[in-house]
Amino acid sequence: MSIADNLMAVQKEVAGAALKAGRDPGSVQIIAVTKNVAVERAREAAAAGFLHLGENRVQELQHKAPLIPGVRWHLIGHLQSNKVKYMIDKVHLVHSLDRWSLAVELDRRAREQDRVMPVLVQVNVAGEETKFGLQVSEVWDFIMDVADLKGIQIQGLMTIAPLVENPEEIRPVFREAKRIFDRLQEIPRVKMEQLSMGMTNDYSVAIEEGATMVRIGTAIFGRREY
């Protein structure tokens, strides 16, 4: 199947999951994850109308951004503070804010460029030791602190669920993420609007549980070789 066909199939499934949950299909943004995908193929997705692309490494994003103009780049992977200066003027939304030192650097570099960097706070909902992200117990205070930084605008949460065979197994993780997300609405000065969760294996369940952004690579571009 072509990338355009894959995209249509994903769109259909996204809409189906949204409707099943009584949600407007337009309330879910698909981010086509182009990591380890050649520029030509990433361009095909953009040409098919998918203008939100996701990368998990700054170096790859720096390479692709000038070659695929007119799209919005999402940085979805772990971000090292010393790479912030290379991505700050290229990225539409950072999904992976997971520590104070990174918030300080994003704030500083964004203000240098007279811009405000939109971010999502990454939360390790399942408490997996191998995953980045704040612990659930830390999130409230962290957001309160980051809300004081003028160069950053918190727009919501991101989480990566554990990899399982049957996505039903991790429905409780997504449900918990949504519950935390809803509770954080009470924090003054921040507007929690985006809940980024769901990948190829589990995006339908994530949408049923309230995802507003899904990050999809394999279902669009096929298996990555690495």
Ligand X SMILES: *Cc1c(COP(=O)(O)O)cnc(C)c1O
Q: CA dihedral in degrees (179, 165, 96, 226; nearest 10)?
A: -170
**In contact, 96 and 75? CB cutoff 8 Å:** yes
DSSP category for residue 164: -
User: Which residues, 6 or more positions from 135, have their beta carbon under 8 angstroms from its beta carbon?
Assistant: 123, 124, 127
Smallest distance, ligand X to C-beta of residue 74, A: 9
Rounded distance, CA 112 to CA 93, Å? 18
- For ligand X, the closer CB: 160 or 192: 160
Residue with tokens 């409780």: 172
Rounded distance, CA 208 to CA 226, Å? 31
- For ligand X, the closer CB: 14 or 149: 14
Smallest distance, ligand X to C-beta of residue 226, A: 11
Smallest distance, ligand X to C-beta of residue 76, A: 4
- For ligand X, the closer CB: 52 or 215: 215
Smallest distance, ligand X to C-beta of residue 77, A: 5
Which residues form the interface with ligand X (CB under 6 A)? 33, 35, 56, 76-77, 160, 199-201, 215-218
- For ligand X, the closer CB: 189 or 223: 223
